């Protein structure tokens, strides 16, 4: 399965999240329910801040996401109940519709969009303003 946007996988049930362990820096894999909102993934942590993978994200927000076969790099952040209240409620409502459950601490996963290569610009030296100026002197 390939996917180019998060909406293409919104109907899938689980997402495989890989974080780096806080102490050993070894990968920690977690399979978890997810929802999609505004091209981001939202996961709900039943155990809140006690979850090891949440602690890993607090230390290093760089994560890997897999839904099906492709893996993508992403950045994770734990939502703040005051600052992100509206977003929290929107994601929880989507989870409630999808799974019948939207409780817990929400974590936002933002896929990292690979940068395209910088364009190669070729300059003909005779087209430069300095070359034109040199011809007139």
Instruction: Please identify, in words, the CATH class of the domain defined by 6-136.
Output: mainly beta
Domain ranges of the chain: 6-136
Q: What is the pTM of this model?
A: 0.77
> pLDDT tens-digit profile of 101-113?
999 999 999 999 7
The per-residue pLDDT for 93 is 97
Q: How far apart, in whole angstroms, are the C-alpha atoms of residue 48 and residue 14?
A: 19
Partners of 36 in beta bridges: 41
Residues of the chain with pLDDT under 70: 1-7, 114-137
The per-residue pLDDT for 10 is 84
CA quadruple 98, 99, 101, 107: dihedral sign: negative
């Amino acid at each position: 399965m390939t996917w180019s946007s998060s909406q293409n996988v919104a109907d899938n049930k689980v997402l495989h999240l890989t974080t780096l362990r806080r102490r050993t820096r070894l990968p920690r894999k977690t399979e978890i329910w997810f929802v999609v909102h505004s091209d981001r993934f939202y996961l709900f942590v039943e155990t809140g801040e006690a979850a090891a993978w949440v602690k890993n994200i607090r230390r290093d927000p760089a994560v890997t996401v897999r839904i099906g076969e492709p893996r993508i790099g992403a950045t994770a952040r734990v939502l703040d109940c005051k600052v992100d209240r509206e977003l929290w409620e929107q994601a929880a409502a989507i989870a409630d519709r999808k799974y019948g459950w939207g409780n817990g601490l929400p974590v936002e996963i933002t896929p990292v969009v690979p940068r395209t290569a910088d364009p190669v610009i070729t300059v003909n030296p005779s087209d430069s303003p300095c070359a034109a100026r040199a011809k007139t002197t």
